[in-house]
Structure 1
């Protein structure tokens, strides 16, 4: 999910407020403050996963480009499980389920969307394994919703 120019401008303003030394980067603790100022409150697990995708060398510093990737990633994740059942149903349908919440979401499609399309560094397979107890490679709507809301 991309960010609008308005959102980018708000991100830039929030980033500058925290980057008082104009170093061009912020540390992970400052990152959490900026995300909270932008109304995003990822769980500790989500925060670590997102930071690890942009700070592969584990230096603890995030530049503005990486920061925008994090905000866009959080926006994508939140739009799916923000409580808007329409978005949740749309995501379920995109993975093979039916609009009336029947049928099943295909786990291979889920993995592809999470790993390839969204580029998230989440151990989605482990989450799915806990929900797909019969190993059929399919999740019903309740299981799909649980997968997205698990923290």
Structure 2
């Protein structure tokens, strides 16, 4: 196992023991007094209300504190995806605040840390997807600065000749109420964001294929070396289906 993972587990165990020992000496608390801390946590009121409701339910002895593992369970139930990197952010927040008791105020600050962490991940994913759109747009004749146009027949040609795929682009253009044969960048992006769930999965795979084509073309002059056939496309679909199944099994954020 990776040394970083081992180190994280040790720190997690120590933090849990330290917090649990401190919580033994806790006294009962009035939950109404907890609300005075909410103005500085940068969370929405509905998020704070949900967290308080969950906090009160888990703190059945009404001591005003949670164990480390109870806090982690609460954060996951709230909808946060707590991976190793997120745990490191949580430990740093606890350390910076020099706290040994996970009261409601600390929970709010930790929830904000988790929210900020997920926002940055989403921002990075959006940037990656934007770059993928640019690559696909360029592969079809557009410009790297998102200017220019791509013709729908060019899309059909590349998908049918290079990828051996039949793609009903007219159906999607009809959904988007697009009349032009040439598509600008924004219309091109919408083409891969059809509201039909099945189309989204299929279109996302096509986007990856076109993006891959553009990147590969920049590294080789022989188009014959960039042939991607149906079996590759099916692998894309399998991967997306796998990710979709994993997402179905994960709780949705209550944010």
When normalised by structure 2's length, the TM-score is 0.31
Q: Counting helix residues as a fraction of each chain, which structure ranks higher? A: 2
Q: Give the number of the structure whose residues are more often strand, by fraction.
A: 1
Structure with bigger gyration radius:
2
**TM-score, structure 1 normalization:** 0.50
